Amino acid sequence: MTIILRPPIIPSLEALPLIGALSVAKSIHSQLELNSKVRWPNDVVVYGSKVAGVIAEAQQEGNSIDFVLLGIGVNVNFESHKIRDEKVDAMTLMDLCGGAIKSSSLVCDILLELEELLALATSNRVQLLELLRSNDYSAGKTIRVVMDGRRMIQGVFVDYESASTVLVLSDDELVVVHTASAVLVEYMT
């Protein structure tokens, strides 16, 4: 699904995929009782397998954002083998639940969660970070991040500094990684 967001409800373009992923994770947990988690920067996983991804694309002039298209893809009612390969460990909610699910109910819940999280992103960033941490998959995982300019950082994901920056322990040094600078993120463990 694609959601159009217009100012003033856009907290930060860099944070939107993570906020969208959190809305999906919370909805999957509440609707299907699956232990879904957010995997930085924009995925949702259940038992370590990807079930959803989120992307944001902005239309802007100069520093002013006209609107953002927030694309949310959730693997719902089809068999997992159709999307699995050696590079992507992905599952569908249908396979995880043992049968077809009511996708309209899930979509409605995702939209309600997203609305609440967008309001929270502008009113209470501390609470948003607490929600990210309590729904996080990434902490303690070894990641490799290819940055703009092909600089690479490999280390252990430590924590969210904000909804658009994370901390990675690389060679005994704490590195701040800006989501907007990450071109590719791979999980090693």
What pLDDT shows up at residue 79? 82
Domain ranges of the chain: 2-134, 142-187
Residue 163: name the closest of 29, 18, 13 by CA: 18
**pLDDT, mean of residues 157-163:** 95
Mean pLDDT for the chain overall? 92
pLDDT on residue 73: 96
Tell the CATH topology of 2-134.
BirA Bifunctional Protein; domain 2 (3.30.930)
CB 34 within 8 A of CB 24: no
Kindly report the number of other CB atoms within 10 A of residue 10's CB atom: 19
**CATH of range 142-187; options 2.30.30.100, 3.90.870.30, 3.40.47.10, 3.40.190.10:** 2.30.30.100
pTM: 0.93
| pLDDT of amino acid 20 | 97
- 104, burial (CB in 10 Å: exposed 0-12, middle 13-18, buried 19+): exposed
Most confident of 43-52, 54-63, 148-157: 43-52
pLDDT, tens digit (0-9, with 9 covering 90-100), for 96-147: 999 999 999 999 999 999 999 999 998 999 999 999 999 999 999 999 999 9
Over the stretch 45-59, which tens digit does the pLDDT of each residue have? Answer: 999 999 999 999 988
Residues 6+ apart with CB under 8 A from 123: none
Residue showing tokens 């901390």: 167
- Selection from 3-12, 53-62, 66-75 with the highest mean pLDDT: 66-75
Span 151-180, mean pLDDT? 94
Confidence of residue 7 (pLDDT cuts 50, 70, 90): confident
